[in-house]
Structure formats: structure tokens, C-alpha cells
Amino acid sequence: MFKNLSKKCSLFIISFIFPCILTSCSKNLNIAAKDIQNNNTQVINKEINIPEKTAIDASIKPPIASSLNKETPKNVLNNRTFTGPNLKYNNKGIPVLMYHSIAYEKGNELRIPKEKFREQMCFLKEKGYTTLTLNELHEFFVNNSPVPEKSVVLTFDDGYVDNYTNAYPILKEFGFNAVVFVITNNIDNRKGYLTSNQIIELANNGIEVQSHTVDHEKLATLTYNKQLETLKNSKFFLENILGRKISYIAYPYGNWNENTIKAIKETDYKMAFTTNGTWSDKSDGIYTLDRVYISANFDINEFHRRLTNRNYK
Ligand SMILES: [Zn+2]
């Protein structure tokens, strides 16, 4: 089974990229059925060590918002209408995969080496997965618009620069959409994080950029007004830079309370994600959707298990 799939993937790869990369893809996909790692640990409170704030590099100039707003945003992703067999409706769930950094760091399971990430994307491609946009996911949940049975959403939290340098070329190679939830205070301001020019390029090329608050606050510890402030300011910041509406957010640490839901509605977000659970499901509630944690410790069998078994825990 894996062999046939590998062949298909190989053909795809031969057509588009260097043969040397083919070796790594085939090799990984031919892995015999090893013991599946049952590591279900949810790392909801653990975040990557963030370097101290560095002085702003004077050569990095944030774009002037007013001039950017005059341009029509490029490549705003339109909702697709899915037809034909093998569709599903919102009585079923969707795996929304949660990544952070795509780079190797010894012992840090939140940083996935790019070779491993590429192996996972290759796997999605050869299994025939469709990567949904957040608007499509929203339509699915709210209006029961059907989506392919094999649908997945790829999300990245925090806005690490390696999402641009390492993940983006791989996503492009396979023609996948994805979402990066950024901490807006870090944009142009902190080493290791995305710049405004990078998020503009991402947003213009099929990678949605959405909010992960202003300063990675633990929302439930803030007053209602402080929650409003970080939800509103991160939204405005991104709307100014990207010239398009920001409607989605991922809660830092997956942390929220009743005030968060009130503030989310007040600030006109349409959908929000936690860091817990398994597949996203209508029953989660549109402002507290589950996501599927992906660790650097998982092999391709565990990736497959989480992707195909909605009750993988
Ligand atoms: Zn985060």
C-alpha cells in the first residue's frame, strides 16, 4: 500500500523538484509498521523559549499602513464549492493540525525538523488531502457547506520566521493552504519572528495570517477590557498591514474564559481555536474549536493515526 503511494508521490516529485529530495520522501514513506507512539501529551502550557527582545534592526522598516491600504489585496482566497462523491457535512469533524516552529532543536518537541514536516506534507499529498481555508471551514460549520471527506486545516502558532523560511517553500511545493497565527507585537520587533514584509508575502500567496493576540497573553488572567484591547489591537494591526479583514484567532496556551467569548463577539471574530482536544467539531463551539497537536516526537504512523482517527486519544 505504502509502496504504491510512494510511487505516485515520487512521480509528482520528479515532475517538480530535484531528485535528491525524492530519496528522503520515499524512504520515509516506506517505513514499516513500527509501534505507533501513543504520546498523547498535550503541551498546552509549554511554549518555545523566546529570545529576549532585541533592539529593532534599523534596516527593517515596517510598511506604512496607509499606503498599503490603498492597494487591493492580492490573491484573497475565495471559497471553493466542492462537488462530486466523497464529500462530508458538518455532522462530522475535521482535523485542524497545530504546528509551531518548523526547525530542528534538540529536545524541543514544538520544533518540527523541516524534513519531517516535508514528509508529513508529502503524505497528505499522496493520500489526496485537501487543505481548507478558514473561510471554508467556517462555511462548513455554520452553513453546512460540504467539503472533501479528506479535508485538513494546517495551522502554525506564534509566527516564527521559520514558518516563512522553512514551511512556506514546502507548502508551495505541494500547493497547500495554511494559516499562521501571529503575535503582533513581535512583528518587525523580535528576532526569530516574522516581519511585516514576510507576512504580506505569505498572505498574498495562499498562507492566511491571523491573530494570536498582541503579546501572547493568557487571556483568562486578564480583565474583560484588557482582553478586548488585545483582541482588537492585534486585529487592527494585521488589517492595516495586510489590507484585508482578520476574522480568526488562536488563543495563546489555549487559554480562555467566558469574558473571552464575550470579547470575541464584541470584536467581530468569526471563529477561534484552542490548543486542546482532537478534531474540530461543531459540538466544540465555533469560538472554542479543538486542534490536533503535532509533536516532533511523532513518526509518520502517529501522524497518520491522528489524521484518520477522530478519537485518537
Ligand atoms: Zn502561542
Dist. CA 120 → ligand 1 center (Å):
22
Dist. CA 64 → ligand 1 center (Å):
27
Residues having C-beta closer than 5 Å to ion ligand 1 = 157-158, 252
Low-confidence ranges of the chain (pLDDT < 50): 1-8, 10-47, 49-72
User: How many Cβ atoms are within 10 Å of 291's Cβ, its own excluded?
Assistant: 25
Dist. CA 91 → ligand 1 center (Å):
29
C-alpha cell at 285: 463551539
Q: How far is CA 256 from CA 1, 275, 293, in A?
A: 43, 11, 18
Q: Please say whether the beta carbons of 292 and 313 come within 8 A.
A: no
Q: Coil, strand, or helix at residue 112? A: coil
C-alpha cell at 77: 482566497
Residue 3: what pLDDT?
43
C-alpha cell at 123: 503524505
Dist. CA 250 → ligand 1 center (Å):
8
Residue 78: what pLDDT?
83
Dist. CA 27 → ligand 1 center (Å):
32
Dist. CA 210 → ligand 1 center (Å):
12
Dist. CA 284 → ligand 1 center (Å):
20
Region of 112 please: left (phi>0), alpha (psi -120 to 50) or beta: beta
C-alpha cell at 132: 481548507
Helix 258-266 vs helix 224-242: crossing angle, to nearest 10: 40
Question: pLDDT, tens digit, for every residue of 84-128?
Answer: 899 999 999 999 999 999 999 999 999 999 999 999 999 999 999
Identify the helix (H) or strand (E) that includes residue 98.
strand 96-99
